[in-house]
Amino acid sequence: MGKIDLMEYFEKKDSTREEILKIYREIVRDCAMNIRHVQKMKKDEISFEVVDKLRKLEELTSEYYDFGKYLNLPQQEYVEFQVFYSIVFENRYLEYHELEVEVKPENYILGICDVVGELRRMVLESIKNDDIESAERYYRFMEKIYDEVIKYDYYYVIEGLRKKQDMCRGILERTYGDLVTFVENLKLRRELEKVRG
């Protein structure tokens, strides 16, 4: 091993870490904003700069083996945003290999779990607007994601998986109850309209 200046090494490592943390925070913030825009159906306000930032983050974290942990949350947030976007605006579920940026497989699984909560919001919004077709469409995607994540039982290699699976199941069950109540209520209202009409 060649001689290295330890002070120089740690100074560079520290400044790299500062840059990583800055980009890390930006990605998390940008994804949260993008998810909000998807919820509000504001497609033109969505920024895809997050893709370049993720690539830059991966490049920086690769310099030091112990910086890999800084990829986890940003990648999960990116997966959540990108999959949610595809479902809402393109009516399709984005598979792992279809992502524009390569992410750790573990972060893909954990990221799609979080999409279930976003889809519940869309179901409830559709119910509020008496839009049964959209409500059922979003619910089918929720089921698809749950069916996907429940296949994995590698709890020792995907940290936090069991908790997220349980969360998905709970959200799915509550949403099913809301959907059944809504459909019954809609039928009743339509029957009453017929009687009045």
Would you report the helix, strand and coil content of the chain in percent, each value rounded to 5?
80, 0, 20
Report how far residue 78's alpha carbon sits from residue 24's, in angstroms, rounded to the nearest whole number.
Answer: 11
Instruction: Provide the 8-state DSSP code for 50.
Output: H
CB distance 104 to 72 below 8 Å:
yes
Q: List binding-site positions.
A: 80, 118
CA nearest neighbour of 116 among 178, 43, 40, 175: 175
pLDDT of residue 2: 63
Q: Which residue has the tokens 């997966």?
A: 79
Digit-by-digit pLDDT tens for the chain (197 residues) are: 568 899 999 999 999 999 999 999 999 999 999 999 999 999 999 999 999 999 999 999 999 999 999 999 999 999 999 999 999 999 999 999 999 999 999 999 999 999 999 999 999 999 999 999 999 999 999 999 999 999 999 999 999 999 999 999 999 999 999 999 998 998 888 888 888 86
In whole angstroms, give the CA distance from residue 139 to residue 132: 10
Residue 29 has a pLDDT of 98
Of the candidates 138, 152, 181, 179, which has an alpha carbon nearest to the alpha carbon of residue 39? 138
Structure tokens at 180: 């059944």
Structure tokens at 162: 């069991």
Q: What is the pLDDT of residue 3?
A: 82
- Annotated binding-site residues for Mg(2+) read 80, 118
Residue of 81, 121, 124 lying closest to 101 (CA atoms): 81
- The answer to whether the predicted template modeling score (pTM) of the entire model surpasses 0.85 is yes
Q: What DSSP state is assigned to residue 62?
A: T
